Amino acid sequence: MFELMPLPFSEDSLEPHVSAKTIRLHHDKHHRKYVDTLNQLVGGTGMEDMTLDVIIQAASGKPEMRAIFNNAGQVWNHDFFWASMSASPTEPNDEIRSWINRDFGSIDDFKKQFKDAATGHFGSGWAWLVVAADGTLQVISTSNAETPINGDLWPLITCDVWEHAYYWDYQNRRADFVQTFLDHLINWDFVAARLETEAPQLRSSAPA
């Protein structure tokens, strides 16, 4: 059965950008609820031994499995969100910068496009930096429990724009939360590791 992913940082280590209270509410309540509900839904179905990504693919587009899809997607997305952040974030390395410069123009242009996607997304969802099938970097948003692994995309970063991710600290100022995420919280080492081991299509199209 599925277990709640431990945080890769302490609850208070993202302060002052995200409070320990927000992290506790988000991880220990919201994220845990998705895990517990998924276990209830798949128990005894044979799906409990599948990986999250296989469950997401199997349940996608099937109305009778919508609840399973929603909870599996939210568990996967939240796992990825925690990994996307670091209490001691680094800058993107030269290789990542070269790809970002190629596909967005500059780091600042990437941040603007990501922020626009996150703040322009209506309702609950996620903003993502992904590798597309053609080897380019793209910024996308998804609604509710939708996830890029359900398509031909390879995610590198995600920012949760459900209100429970930021409302205690930022109230309705989603844009401020997203800007803080971009400027202070991204785990670029995690991005580099995913590019190194899991995105050969991007590496094969690397800038000269």
Q: What is the pLDDT of residues 157-186, one digit of tens each?
A: 999 999 999 999 999 999 999 999 999 999
Asked whether the predicted pLDDT for residue 130 surpasses 80, the reply is: yes
Asked whether the predicted pLDDT for residue 203 surpasses 70, the reply is: no
Give me the pLDDT at residue 192, please. Answer: 92
What is the rounded CA–CA span in Å between residue 35 and residue 78?
10
Q: Cis (ω within 30 of 0) for the bond into 16?
A: yes
Identify the structural domains of the chain with CATH numbers, from first to last.
Answer: 20-83 (1.10.287.990), 94-203 (3.55.40.20)
Asked whether the predicted pLDDT for residue 16 surpasses 70, the reply is: yes
Residue in the block written with tokens 């996967």: 76
Give me the pLDDT at residue 19, please. Answer: 97
The DSSP line for 25-54 is IIIIIIIHHHHHHHHHHHTTTTGGGS-HHH
End-to-end CA, the chain:
46
Instruction: Confirm if 150 and 58 have CB atoms less than 8 A apart.
Output: no
Asked whether the predicted pLDDT for residue 208 surpasses 70, the reply is: no
Mean pLDDT of the 62-78 span? 97
Q: What is the pLDDT of residues 136-154, one digit of tens each?
A: 999 999 999 999 998 789 9
Give me the pLDDT at residue 196, please. Answer: 79
At 143, give phi and psi (nearest 5°).
Answer: -95, 145
Q: What is the pLDDT of residues 25-34, one digit of tens each?
A: 999 999 999 9
